[in-house]
Each structure stands twice: as structure tokens, then as C-alpha cells.
Amino acid sequence: MKTLLVLILLSVCSLYGQNQIYLDQISTSASVTLEQQGSTNRIGADGNPSTITGDNGTFTVKQIGDGNQIDFKLTGDDYYFKLWNTGDNNTQKIF
């Protein structure tokens, strides 16, 4: 069993923010953690969401701050998905 661990940690004070992540991952038993701190951060793009395709994975997203957005698509079976989104005026689109 092959495990893929992708850890992206973006730690920025709220004065800077505006980080964007686009992820297109295909794997089995993946463990993916994304964390963004600050304001106006984005994962994916409106009309072109980030994607994870595969089975038996774990996906964790933490967005801390105001005005953050997520456009994400998960395709597969038995995915464990955790979302922490703290702050005001945040938007999540999970497909």
C-alpha cells in the first residue's frame, strides 16, 4: 500500500494573505493537509476547482482568517474529509 503525503503549510500574517493553492492529485490512500493563515486566501479557482481523485484517503483543510475561499472536488470512495474554516466572509464549494 503506497501512501502519499503532501503537506503544504503557508503561514502568513493577515497583512499579506492572498495565497492561492491549486491541487490536482491522483492517488490511492493519500494523506493531504493544506493550511493557510491570513485573509483572502484561495484553494482552487471559481469554475476550475482543485481535485483529488482516488480511494481510501484523508484530506484536511485549515483556513484561518477572513475572506478565504475553497473550490474543491473529491472523487473516489472512502475519503475522510476535515475542514476547519475560521473567520468571517469565508466561502466553501465542495463537489
Q: Which pLDDT tens digit goes with each residue over 50-60?
A: 999 999 999 99
Count Cβ neighbours within 10 Å for each residue of 22-56 and write b for 16 or more, e otherwise.
ebeeebeebebebbbbbbbbbbbeeeebbbbebee
**What is the residue whose three cell numbers read 484517503?**
57
- Whether residue 41 is predicted with pLDDT greater than 60 in this model: the reply is yes
- Whether residue 3 is predicted with pLDDT greater than 80 in this model: the reply is no
pLDDT class of 4 with cuts at 50, 70, 90: very low
Kindly tell me the sign of the dihedral angle through the C-alpha atoms of 24, 27, 11, 63.
Answer: positive
- Whether residue 84 is predicted with pLDDT greater than 90 in this model: the reply is yes
**What is the residue whose three cell numbers read 484530506?**
59
pLDDT given for residue 46 in this prediction:
84
